[in-house]
Amino acid sequence: MSEWRLLLTRSREDSLAVAELLHAAGVATSCLPLLELEPVVLEAAAGLTPPTVHWFTVGEATGRILTARGLQATWPADGDDSEALLALPALHQALAGVRPRVLIVRGVGGRELLAERLAGQGASVDYLELYRRCLPHYSDTALAERVIGERLNGLVVSSGQGLEHLQRLAGADWPRLSRMPLFVPSPRVAQQAREAGARQVVECRGASAAALLAAVQRTAVPALTGH
């Protein structure tokens, strides 16, 4: 049995799937979702018929949905973030035209790194924003009470916006919580966390449950300190 007790902050549905894998490995978890998806109202004709072009997705789950609908989709075998997607040879081959055009389907303000890198390679980038990520309503003390009450010793975020919401909910408690190990999915979010003052940042090399478990298993459990 592992001594890790982690706070999962993805949506409740996603956290349940992650918790199942972690629990099987003896890792205790608690769920406090920090990202709530709110649909964006589209224009009547927007986004109704997916174009039959080559689709690239960050994660396998989205890719499987597209292929099940008869679309050609490719995703990274190793990693599930923008960096892994940008490393795909197939993506670079698809962009090997004159002024290629790319549509990024995203949440509001998401995938900026992907857009910047593609534009830097000469692509014309447009967006179709389908949702925005909001912080669910919690009391000002909800995060601290959860960490203390369940004696948690690690925090997990799945994106830069998840980290921003963690800080916002922590409020005045952030200096204390920033000393806890913080598991993040990518170098970009790791840098963001360090700039925010996080003391022990663990990069998981992906946002999947398997990537998180691997990171947890190679990271020493912190010595118990008073909360």
Pick out the chain residues at pLDDT < 70.
Answer: 43-51, 224-227
CATH code given to domain 5-37+138-217: 3.40.50.10090
- Asked if 156 contacts 6 with a C-beta cutoff of 8 angstroms, the reply is yes
- Domain borders along the chain are 5-37+138-217, 52-131
Q: Give pLDDT, residue 4.
A: 96
Tokens 């003052």 sit at which residue?
197
pTM: 0.78
Write out the DSSP string of the chain: ----EEEE-S-HHHHHHHHHHHHHTT-EEEE----EEEEPPPPTTTTSS--SS-EE-SSHHHHHHHHHTT--EE--SS--SHHHHHT-HHHHHHT-SSS-EEEEEEETT--HHHHHHHHHTT-EEEEEEEEEEEPPP--TTHHHHHHHHTT--EEE-SSHHHHHHHHHHHGGGHHHHTTSEEEESSHHHHHHHHHTT-SEEEE-SSSSHHHHHHHHHTSPPPPP---
The pLDDT score that the predictor gives to residue 2 is 83
Highest CATH level, class, for 52-131: alpha beta
Query: What contacts 205, CB < 8 A, 6 or more positions away?
Result: 79, 185, 186, 211, 214, 215
- Strand order, beta sheet including 5-8: 28-31, 5-8, 154-156, 181-184, 200-203
pLDDT at 47: 62
